[in-house]
Structure 1
Amino acid sequence: MWHMTTAPPPPREEDDEPSDLPDTVWEEFARDTAAKIRSDAPKEPSARARMVTERLRREDADAQERARAAKPRGRRQKRQEPEGWRTGPAWREMQRGERGPWRDRIRTPAIVAAVAVLALIAVNPSGARSLVLGHGHSSGSDETSSTGTPLPPETATPTAAPTVAAEPDAPTPSHPFAGSPALQWADGAAGIVLPHPAPAGDLTAKQVAAVLRTTKAFLVATNLDPEELRGGYPTAALRLTDPVNGVRAMMTADLRSPSAKADPTVWFTRYNPAHFRLVGSVVKVRGRMTFARADHGAVRVRTDYSYVYAFTQAGDPHGTVARLIVRRELDTQWYPHSDPGKVQIVAQGAEFGGSGCGFVDGYLHPYFGGTPGAAPTGPATDPYDRTKSLAKAGSCGTVSRT
């Protein structure tokens, strides 16, 4: 059966027929349409926008990478940071509370050695110097080893003389106390240690403290003051001496006209710088100071100190070193009405080791052998033996060591 369809009518040309809309409406429609097209069109991003976008993209990628790295893969993964900052080996060991065994073996002994060296230098600089340079095996005493370790202050009469090394070191200008027990002694005024003051006699503890300080000042002025040692006039020592018993007048007379019977070295340690030169500035000192009640409410202070000096001859400052050992005992006394700033000498004694004999010029003369003056004679004594009181005055004796 045939089916017949009706053909559609031909399209109508819109432009052929006039529009019923006014021109102003069409113009407004065209403008709106163009604006809409421009707003909907894709825009090229600015440079700043591109930078921000790229940074965000990288941060997102880094976050994803860290998340993947944080996932467990058999063993826990360590956080990665630049080596040598917080994640260097030492920092990681500290974080874990661990230390490499080889570090422990090296670090701990090094710290202990450093502390020991610093303590030795602070207490005895010359002893530390000798120990470091290989001069620490000189003779010691029954109170110490032979390594140059400083001795504690002397508080009582020693029970034995310092021992003698089989092969003691020879003194040199660089190490003037090598081979001597004085190597372990204190330097200068540090060797004069004051006892703890306490009331004694009719004096209070404060007054006793004052007289102890005056006593030390007198010992320094007569045995350690550089100008006085070089033969200068001992003004400070004379100023500290109480004139009440005539001792200061005797000192002044001995200085003015020295002789065999009026020898100022009985009171002062002095040498002639035209003939000798003191090596360095260190004088070694060892001894003790005590005090006790005396008659009539007084306080008596007793001192017993040995001083060791090292010399070269004035024309040979880098040559042979000779040591001079001076031991002095001194008793001073104070009454409640006494001037605590002046010493009143009531007894004294002196002994010299390593000094030439027969001089009456008011100076001590370190003995170098073959130098002018009489050589020491008589039985040999040990000038370092402090176990006995000073011997009575006699001939100029020899010494077993200096």
Structure 2
Amino acid sequence: MGKDGASIPDEEWERFLREVEAGTQDAPKEPSARARMVARRLRDEPGPPEGWRTHQPPRRRRSKGWYAVGLLVAAGLLLVALAPGRVAAWFGGGDGGGDSAPLAAESERPDKPPATEAASQLPTLEQPFKGSPAARWADGTAGISLPAARATGWMNKEQVEQALDRSRDFLAESSLDPGVLRGERPRQAIELINPHQQDVQNYLATAFRAPSREDDPLSLFSRFKESKVRLVGDVVKTRGRITFREGERGAVEVTTDVTYVYPVVRAAKGSDEVARTIVRREVVMSWDDPAKVVVEPGTFSLVSYKADTANGGCDAFGYFTPEFSAERGTSGQGDGREVDPYDRSDSMDARMRGADDAGCGTATRS
């Protein structure tokens, strides 16, 4: 009824209801793109949100109305109350539960190797880490955990934090950089190494000019020959950690122990068989006191390095040369001991003591 008691015309009443339902009185003129996306997803897909890389045809819309919305909100609140862990997992919180949940960062050495996946779960171009423990590992530097910094040796806390960050930068430039993985010279990584450490500089010069068992760039850098193989996608899975302590002459000695998993296919067009090269490296760096050691600012001295590789090519130097099913059928088993390349429960010292320099071992899985 109007103020004078007259009836409101039907068309005016219907227009008023449409405006109220549409929220035109107080709503923003143009919601943000994120608001529109979230509203549309919640409206069309009441189930848990999908990963942003996945796709599913949109579901048929449910009937709308304030009563239906009220029921959905009530049901959502009830679900949160009864199963908060599941709801948190949908939106990225909690541990997600189950064997497919991403692993927490590695803060210490595990006490056993990861579980064995079903042998039938072969990798594909769409899922290059399928059937591998690496499927639950983080991508790139996200899988390399850093400890909390503290004043150590000649460095204060802030300087130690910077040394840890630069140590991880070296790992990124030497083992994750796309250009280096394609066989380019790792210039940025080399620039982080003390240029006054002459024996290391000699090794680097020889390793890239005439690689051999004694002078092999693969001890420190990951490289594939682009004419032979190419990486699948742009993700390298990693798992490992960085630790530090006071070293000689008050230096901050940083130890990195990281496993990298590289999925590759043959370079030939149309190749779709995915193989994986798995590399575990331990690199020890000394961030020296410039008052006691000749060193350029922002560089470290190389203390030691160890590398253990699965499916990188037996006696391959200069570039990894992974084998595919055809090569594995003719090359036979390695003549050394069996090794699980995903097992990080032993130290690199123990792993290398068991290695046979005269031959190639056998990886128990890829």
Q: Judge same fold: TM > 0.5, yes or no.
A: yes
Amino acid at match of 1:221: E
| 1:355 correspondence with 2:312 | yes
The 1:323/1:108 distance shift into structure 2, 3 A limit, reads: farther
The 1:104/1:168 distance shift into structure 2, 3 A limit, reads: farther
Residue 279 of structure 1: CA displacement? Answer: 0.3
Q: TM-score, normalization: structure 1?
A: 0.67
The 1:323/1:317 distance shift into structure 2, 3 A limit, reads: farther
Q: How does 1:355-374 map to 2 (within 5 A)?
A: 355-360=312-317, 362-371=318-327
**92, 97, 108: which one aligns with 1:119:** 92
The 1:365/1:281 distance shift into structure 2, 3 A limit, reads: same
| 1:105 correspondence with 2:75 | yes
1:124-174 Cα deviation digits (max 9, x unpaired): 9xxx9xxxxxxxxxxxxxxx7322x11111110011110013445110011
* 1:329 aligned residue: 282
| 1:263 correspondence with 2:216 | yes
* 1:378 aligned residue: 336
Structure 2 CA distance for aligned equivalents of residues 278 and 103 of structure 1: 46
Structure 1 CA distance for aligned equivalents of residues 15 and 217 of structure 2: 80
The 1:351/1:87 distance shift into structure 2, 3 A limit, reads: closer
- Which range moves more in the overlay, 158-167 or 303-312? 158-167
| 1:209 correspondence with 2:161 | yes
* 1:197 aligned residue: 149
CA RMSD of aligned residues (A): 3.4
Structure 2 CA distance for aligned equivalents of residues 85 and 400 of structure 1: 67
Residue 284 of structure 1: CA displacement? Answer: 0.3
Structure 2 CA distance for aligned equivalents of residues 87 and 352 of structure 1: 63
In the alignment, is the contact (CA less than 8 A) between 2:280 and 2:308 conserved in 1? yes
| 1:169 correspondence with 2:139 | no
The 1:163/1:87 distance shift into structure 2, 3 A limit, reads: closer
Amino acid at match of 1:157: R
Can you give the 5+ residue segments of structure 1 that lack an aligned partner in the other structure? 1-57, 67-79, 129-143
Residue 205 of structure 1: CA displacement? Answer: 1.0
Count of matched residue positions in the alignment of Structure 1 and Structure 2 = 304
SS of match in other structure, 1:286: strand
Residue 86 of structure 1: CA displacement? Answer: 5.0
Amino acid at match of 1:266: S
* 1:397 aligned residue: 361
In the alignment, is the contact (CA less than 8 A) between 1:214 and 1:343 conserved in 2? no
* 1:342 aligned residue: 299
**257, 270, 273: which one aligns with 1:320:** 273
Residue 340 of structure 1: CA displacement? Answer: 4.9
1:180-238 Cα deviation digits (max 9, x unpaired): 11011111122223222110012111221121122111111110111111111111111
- Once the two structures are aligned, what percentage of the paired residues are identical? 34
Can you give the 5+ residue segments of structure 2 that lack an aligned partner in the other structure? 9-13, 23-63
